[in-house]
Structure 1
Amino acid sequence: MREAVVPAYLLLCLLLGGSVQGVWFNMILQLVGLAIVAWAALGSDERPLIQPAWNLLLLILLGLAVIALQLVPLPASIWPHLGGRERLAAGFSALGVPVPPVAISLAPHESLTAMFAMIPPIAVICAMLRLRAYRSRWLAITLVAGTIVGILIGVLQVSGGAASPWYLYAETSRGLATGFFANANHMATLLVATLPFLAALLASVRGGSAQQCSAMAALIVGLALVILVGLALNQSLAGYLLAVPVALASVMIVLPGRNRFRTISAMVSGTLLIIAIIALWVVPIGGHNLRGDVQSSVLSRQEILTTSIRATRDLLPFGSGAGTFRSAYQLYEDHDRLEKPIVNHAHNEYVEVAFETGVPGLVVLGLFLAWWVSAAGRAWRSGVSPFARAASVASAAILAHSLVDFPLRTAAISTVFAMCLALLAQPKVQRGHVRDSSELRPTRHLSWE
């Protein structure tokens, strides 16, 4: 039962964590996550963590420290001189009110909410690295099962039209298959991230009987076709464009270690991924699907980015505070514009991190990306579990999509991403041995990954 903890929690996050609109759902996930984190902190593990795992945990602590420091009140002699705070201090003076101590964050309650939102992914990483409360195969099966259920709900949503009662949130992409999500693009992220784990399940039976391999291949092909149906119903341009390079990279997981096609596939997949990001970049927000009824008035991604970068420069060196993008962005909008749509996110996760956390956040982000590149490279150079390689492909797709969207702002995608990071941080496996360290135990029957 211990090894079912992370798969069960992952499934719960997929079912309940599709949008920040689900306040009560997210609260449940955070409370359960807190219990898991406490268990991991108090529990013991005879097997020491290797350096990549320690580095990942250290990066998490650094990220939390950046947010925590933003909540510390600063004296009135200091905070007005920080970037972008002059107009706020002038507001107190205009009201004839003494300037009070104020935190770095422009909205501390929103920063605290952002910290709470990090609990589910942190819980997954802690449970996997500290408690070993998982099996890689179970995680992959859970992810696939949750995705398939989301597709089935998407079928009901599309068949019921825009007024379908199967949509789970008031503000959602009606008429499209969103599954457990409010945003169709985020459902597309889940569909794309599931593809490499299908390949890992197939690669995990390599070396078994011909009958077993054939049966698994038929099952994987059938599930892949279901995901393609889900992408068609989802109608997300991001899903279409990212699925091609991810599918090609997934084929590399199944191929034997020494295969010339791997190098060619890697180059083509990387090129297609860059093309996909460029194509998504030039498409206006609101035009991310192939329907012909896209609204004529859509937000310009370039306009949001330009305003966000201008605000980021003004707010340096500490940013506006984690979770404050929406309220802080309004200070820099064109106030002479008659129609001012609400901008919740920068639609570029990296720019939003700089906007909210300034230089400290960018330093942590840079360290994390360096860690990810190293871990992903190790997954392909060494004889590790195919699930680690699947994690590298899935996490790369999520990181790429974050250049033009904000999928990691949902508990569902952030826990999938956290699962991938923990798989990348696991110990190496001997060449020719496909099992990961969580499954090294005596067995008297035929087992498969």
Structure 2
Amino acid sequence: MIRTSSSSSFVRLVIGLAVLACQIMGGGTERGLLMDHVLQVLMIATSTYVIVTLWDRSVSTAGLALFGAIALLGCIQIMPLPCEWLQSLRPQTYMPAIGSCSTTTISLSSYRTISGLISCLTMIVLFLALSKFDEPELGLLGRFVVAGVLVNLALSFVTFSQSDMSWLSDLLGYQAELGAFQNENHYSVYVAVGILAALTMRPQGYMRVWNLLLVTLVLLFLLAAGSRAGVLIGLFVSLLAFVMIARGSRSAAILAPGLGLVATAYLYGLWIKFTEVEGDQILDRRDYALTTWDAIRDQWPLGTGFSTFDLVYPRYEKLEQVYSAFVNHAHNDFLELILEGGLAGTLILAGCLAAIVMRFIRVRHRDSARTAFIAILIILVHSTVDYPLRTMGIASLFAFFAALLFARAPGSSAVAGRAIGVAPPRLIEAVQTATPTSEGDQIAR
């Protein structure tokens, strides 16, 4: 069977539109949103289509291992087990009353664990589908991420203009604060990291100018958004983008003074923002972390089950920490995962981080890998003070950059047809458009 370049382009279009849909409609943070369920169905369907259509290409082994490990842990968490097995591994508060039943589950809520498991596995399936593409093809898919950033910037511009955006909230099913995101911190990190996708398209000529304008626009919107974490991350990412876009360009000498002026103006705005008098904060991130750690010390062997954080957290809150606002997440995805996954979840998390670092060490000579690693690192760092990966928008962005980090080099796609003498699929359009280079070449020349 010979697959033409047009069919490959259609496959990219299908998965690209699905990723774009997540960027535009996946900014909610509440549990059980109808829009998130719709996006999950869409993502599973399109990812399965890509995996089946590109059956002759290899899939990420690391992704398959992660899928199997999380699926197995989730099944164990909802499996009925004899109460005596768990008696010494869990506080009595979370055990059934004596004589009421003979079995129980590790998860405090099987329904919630199943829902959280589906959300997590959906993003892993997306990663597996994206791992079917090589580096130049993922560079082309980066256009859909950039399109999502532009749409969110446009929506936030309407918000800043004091226009009525209630129609958007009604459509999404949650209150959209900035762009299509319910949380301004998540919005800021999304648009800041999203512009790195522009670097995967190997900008040349006029594309450099458009990308520089996009970076400048993102800086202004991040400053207006008001998220301290967002403006700091945005400054770092934007300076990186300016340097990588201008590098090797004949106009680099002209761009350098402009970059200095933009950075100076941005730093002044940043100083103004950080010296503003903040309103009373209910709790500091440190309070969330310490309270969550108290819960971990009691629950670490087994965990409490995926998506059960808010069922456990109130029991460990100190009286002076109880307010009318409801703490739905730990504001630290690592601590929350350790609490919910227990020892097994901790080992899986450690394995994922180790795989990312080891992969980066292997392919650090490729500019696309460095860009992807920086994007992943920024999201993970922000996850220590917030919960960005709980949104479909940022989770799909994370899957895209993870696939780019683990992507095959240009021309190394494994095609089953070669073993029987059938001509391999030609990706002329993708290769020529993306201007593929050998390992070690720069993204921008």
The alpha carbon displacement at 1:2 in A equals 1.2
For 1:391-427, what per-residue CA distance to the aligned partner results, in whole angstroms no more than 9, with x for missing partners?
2221111111111110000011001101111111111
The residue aligned with 1:88 is 94
Q: Is the 8 A contact 2:360 2:370 kept in 1?
A: yes
Equivalent position of 2:341 in the other structure: 357
- RMSD value, Cα: 3.1
Equivalent-residue separation in structure 2 for 1:57 and 1:256 (angstroms): 37
1:170 Cα deviation from its structure 2 partner: 7.5
1:159 to 161, 181, 184: 161
Identity %: 24
Relative to structure 2, which stretch is displaced further, 111-120 or 17-26?
A: 17-26
Indicate the residue corresponding to 2:33 in structure 1. Answer: 23
Give the partner amino acid of 1:10: V
1:193 to 1:440, Cα distance in 2 relative to 1, 3 A: farther
Change (3 A) 1:47 1:336: closer
> Structure 1 residues 42, 81: closer, same or farther in 2, change over 3 A?
farther
Gaps of 5+ in 1: 206-212, 258-288, 431-437
Larger relative contact order (C-alpha < 8 A, sep ≥ 6)? 2
Give unpaired runs (5+ residues) of structure 2.
1-9, 249-272, 412-423, 436-445
**Pick aligned residue for 1:113 from 115, 120, 132:** 115
Distance 1:232 1:336 in 2: 34
Pair 1:132–1:36, CA change in 2 (3 A): farther
Maintained 8 Å contact 1:375/1:424: yes
**Counterpart of 2:225?**
234
1:168-179 matches, cutoff 5 A? 168=169, 172=175, 174=177, 178-179=178-179
CA drift at 1:371: 0.8
Question: Displacement of 1:248 after TM fit?
Answer: 3.8
Partner SS state of residue 323, structure 1: coil
Q: 1:426 aligns with which of 383, 386, 407?
A: 407
Map of 1:61 onto structure 2: 68
Report what 2:375 is aligned to. 394
Measure how far apart 1:121 and its partner are: 1.6
Given the superposition, is the C-alpha separation of residues 151 and 16 from structure 1 closer, same or farther in structure 2, using an over 3 Å criterion? same
CA offsets per residue over residues 345-404 of structure 1, 9 Å max, x none?
Answer: 1111111111110111111111111111122233322xx4x4433222211111111111
Question: Could you tell me how far apart the structure 1 residues matched to 2:155 and 2:70 are?
Answer: 35
Conserved? CA contact 1:7–1:134, under 8 Å: no
The one-letter code sitting in structure 1 at the alignment partner of 2:64 is L
The one-letter code sitting in structure 1 at the alignment partner of 2:336 is E
Q: CA deviation at 1:122?
A: 2.2
Alignment pair present for 1:9 and 2:9: no
Find the aligned partners of 2:49 and 2:434 in 1 and give their Cα distance.
29
- Displacement after TM superposition at 1:99 (Å): 3.1
Q: Which residue of 2 aligns with 1:379?
A: 363
- The residue that corresponds to 1:275 in the other structure is none
CA distance in 2, matches of 1:79, 1:445: 56
Instruction: Give the TM-score of the pair, scaled to structure 1.
Output: 0.78
Structure 1's 132 and 228: CA in aligned 2 closer, same or farther, altered over 3 A? same
Aligned counterparts of 1:226 and 1:320: Cα–Cα separation in 2: 43
Query: 1:72 touches 1:104 (CA, 8 Å); kept in 2?
Result: yes
Aligned-pair CA distance for 1:66: 1.5
Structure 1 residues 14-72: Cα deviation after superposition (integer angstroms, max 9, x where no partner): 122111447221111111223235445655533434xxx21232123212221221111
Cα distance in 1 for partners of 2:245, 2:383 equals 27
Q: 1: CA distance between counterparts of 2:176 and 2:52?
A: 42
Cα distance in 2 for residues equivalent to 1:133 and 1:389: 13
| TM-aligned CA deviation for residue 254 of structure 1 | 4.5
Q: Say if 1:154 and 1:233, in contact at 8 Å, map to a contact too.
A: no
Contact 1:391 1:424 in 2 (8 A): yes
Deviation at 1:134, TM superposition (A): 9.2
Q: Is the 8 A contact 1:198 1:220 kept in 2?
A: yes
- Spell out the pairing of 1:16-55 with structure 2 (5 A cutoff): 16-21=25-30, 23-39=33-49, 42-43=52-53, 45-49=55-59, 53-55=60-62
Q: Deviations over 1:255-293 (max 9, x none)?
A: 779xxxxxxxxxxxxxxxxxxxxxxxxxxxxxxx75957
Confirm or deny: 8 A CA contact 2:25 2:35 kept in the other structure. yes
Q: Deviations over 1:100-119 (max 9, x none)?
A: 41110111111111012124
Contact 2:135 2:410 in 1 (8 A): no
Q: Per-residue CA shift, 1:173-206, capped at 9, x if unaligned?
A: 75xxx101100011111111123222333xx24x
**Normalising by structure 2, what TM-score?**
0.78
Provide the residue aligned with 2:181 in structure 1.
181
Q: CA deviation at 1:242?
A: 1.1
Asked if 1 retains the 8 angstrom alpha-carbon contact of 2:83 and 2:104, the reply is yes
1:302 to 239, 261, 286: 286
Spell out, residue by residue over 1:148-171, the C-alpha distance to the aligned partner (whole angstroms, 9 max, x if none): 11111111112227x742662686
- For 2:87 and 2:176, how far apart are their aligned partners in 1? 41
